[in-house]
Amino acid sequence: MPTIKEIQDTIIDEFSLFDDSEDKYQYIIDLGNKLSPFDTKYKIPENEIKGCQSKVWLNSSLKDNKVFFEADSDGKIAKGVISILVRILSGQEPEEIVSNELYFIDKAGLNTLLSMNRANGLASMVKQMKLHALAYKTKLESKK
Amino acid sequence: MGLSKEELLEKSGKLYDIEHIRKDFPILKQTVHGKPLVYLDNAASTQKPQTVINALTDYYSSYNANIHRGIHTLAEKATSAFELTRETLKLFINAPSVEQIIFTKGTTEGINLVASSYGRQNIKKGDEIIVSGLEHHSNMVPWQMLAVEKGAFVKIIPVNNAGDLIMEEYEKLLSDRTKIVAVNHVSNTLGTVNPVKEIISLAHKKEAKVLIDGAQAASHLDIDVQDLDADFYVLSGHKLYGPTGIGILYGKKEILEAMPPYQGGGEMIREVSYEKCSFNELPYKFEAGTPNIADTVALKYAIEYLDKLGKASIRAHENNLLQYTTEQLKHIDGLKIVGTAKQKVSIISFSIEGIHHQDIGILLDQHGIAIRTGHHCTQPLMGRFNITGTSRASFALYNTIEEADKLIAGINKAIKMLR
């Protein structure tokens, strides 16, 4: 399993292939289309990430001390964005998810595409995923 | 069936010189993401002509001073410019007198003022307030708050599938318990022009007072508060080519005079002692504190700009854009126009099957096209149509047929990317 840093660097490389912002959007949309199917039983209000115009659902589980995320959205761009975050953070250890900085957003030029404003909810997505990881981290530490 | 593009261009060209008009709005010259800006979010806020921008600069560069109580030259000049706007607004809505024009921050504050002052004084337990299903949250929430406080009820005039108010249902809602009716002149989400004159007349038969939210009407329609017989009429400057943070509340004189002040402070008093105070007369009773002088002064220039072009020409131009764009949108597969009322202003809400409105908005922005997406502060109305939001393009006096074409091309491109 590559590290959070390694996956981010790969994503930065992939986005560097596109000069045009529209092509970057197309890539984000395509990534969203490839996201693993999300079990509809998890499409409940408790799993909704607030702060996005599109609905975004996030569910997580802990397996072998690693956090696994699954997500979905009714918006294609939001789905693409959350799929990138799932790709980076799913399968990582809680501590890693909490402590790693997500520098790919700036480095891949996504900051201009997906400004951290309330409409697209990128900030809310990152925060929510880190909160899930923090909860697992606390749970694991209390067992020690 | 709409006119052809050529016919429309010819018709529009006869109305006024659109290229010349666009030069009056400096903001329109820019590019966004390398594309010329196509600004179609006018129902949210309109752009400002150079004369309005100059008025703001001029005020701060040459006669900024606090108004009304100063005896020096600058204060007098500022006071006179400030009061001149009141005169201009009086004419703009055909109010009987200037003291019936109360300056506010905007439509929302005007409604809150009425709900808080008139509402608290007159609404009692069991009374009813009627609003329509087309209302912006600003003309819904203040009444709900009032109703909760007083143990009163808010009743809703239902909306039909086209986005028109169902007048028969409105008549059924009216009763001796009805104390206030609050409806918009034009729906911000669907563009529906409501039959406000009839709404007012029916309410008056039950001795209810009527507030008309004119935020979306003022830049398109001729407003005559006396002809309408409106008890209150509120509007915002920034939606009619003026600055943000300034609007007006019009009210019938005897009603305004009987109302208690909304806020206490400077300007609204006549005499103050430690024990008591007496209140100033209209309109100052409702204008506590130093007002928004600069924006008020500049608002006059926006009204003058509108008057120069003439609302009839503006309406004809915007209606051409509305008809043309509506016709073009109908050709897009899976696109549904939300709001097909008999009478509309140049606001078009639409949804596209299987595509989220936010995605459309983001991708259009890449083409420099600014539209609004979401619930447009009308969540109950969205619920009525079983949708969470729409994409909304709204046209103003400076928009062109070419821009409508760019919108259509942008939507087609976005659909291709998203499907």
Reported ipTM: the value is 0.90
pLDDT at residue B5 is higher than 80: no
Q: Where among B277, B307, B337 does a domain terminate?
A: B307
Residues B37 and B57 both lie in one domain? no
Residue among A4, A35, A49, A52 flagged as catalytic: A52
Instruction: Name the residue ranges covered by the structural domains of chain A.
Output: 4-143
Return left, alpha or beta for B242; rule: phi > 0 is left, psi -120 to 50 is alpha, else beta.
beta
Least confident span in A106-115, B51-60, B79-88, B294-303: A106-115
Please give the pLDDT value at position A119: 52
Q: Which of B33, B356, B366 sits opposite A74 (nearest CB)?
A: B356
Taking the C-alpha atoms of residue B102 and residue B41, their distance in angstroms, rounded to an integer, is 27
Query: Mean pLDDT for chain B?
Result: 95
Q: How many CB pairs under 8 A join A and B?
A: 41
Residues B137 and B243 both lie in one domain? yes
Q: How far is B366 from chain A (nearest CA, A)?
A: 7
Residues B297 and B319 both lie in one domain? no
- What is the second-level CATH architecture of the domain A4-143? Alpha-Beta Complex (3.90)
Q: Which of B33, B359, B417 sits opposite A75 (nearest CB)?
A: B359
Chain B positions in Cβ-Cβ contact with residue A52 (cut-off 8 Å): 358
pLDDT at residue B405 is higher than 80: yes
pLDDT digits 0-9 by tens, B346-401: 999 999 999 999 999 999 999 999 999 999 999 999 999 999 999 999 999 999 99
Residues B191 and B323 both lie in one domain? no
pLDDT at residue B4 is higher than 90: no
Instruction: Using pLDDT thresholds of 50, 70 and 90, give the confidence band for residue B3.
Output: low
Contact B212, B232 (CB under 8 A): yes
Instruction: Using pLDDT thresholds of 50, 70 and 90, give the confidence band for residue A115.
Output: low
Please give the pLDDT value at position B18: 94
Residues B299 and B323 both lie in one domain? no
Contact B75, B65 (CB under 8 A): yes
Q: Does the annotation count A52 as an active-site position?
A: yes
Q: Which of A52, A53, A76 sits opposite B373 (nearest CB)?
A: A53
Paired residues of B181 in beta bridges:
B130, B210
Paired residues of A60 in beta bridges:
A69
Residue among B377, B379, B380, B413 flagged as catalytic: B377
Q: Is B409 on the interface with A (CB under 8 A)?
A: no
Chain B positions in Cβ-Cβ contact with residue A54 (cut-off 8 Å): 356, 358-359
List all residues of chain A from 11 to 50 with a beta carbon under 8 Å from chain B.
21-22, 25-26, 29
Residues B92 and B222 both lie in one domain? yes
Q: Is B84 domain-assigned?
A: yes
Residues B227 and B367 both lie in one domain? no
Paired residues of B192 in beta bridges:
B344
Whether cis (ω within 30° of 0) applies to the bond prior to B283 is yes
List all residues of chain B from 30 to 59 with a beta carbon under 8 Å from chain A.
33
Single-letter amino acid code for the residue at B273: S
Provide the residue range defining the domain that includes B293.
53-307
Q: Is B48 domain-assigned?
A: no
Q: How far is B321 from chain A (nearest CA, A)?
A: 28
Burial B280-289 (b: 16+ CB within 10 A, else e): bebbbbbbbe
Q: Is B234 domain-assigned?
A: yes
Sequence-distant (≥ 6) Cβ neighbours of residue A31 within 8 angstroms? A80, A83, A84, A87
Q: Which chain B residue has its CA at the smallest distance from A75's CA? A: B356
Domain holding B168: CATH number? 3.40.640.10
Q: Which chain A residue has its CA at the smallest distance from B417's CA? A: A26
Q: What is the pTM of this model?
A: 0.94
Residues B146 and B291 both lie in one domain? yes
Residues B294 and B322 both lie in one domain? no
Residues B357 and B283 both lie in one domain? no
At B365, is the secondary structure helix, strand, or coil? helix
Residues B32 and B59 both lie in one domain? no
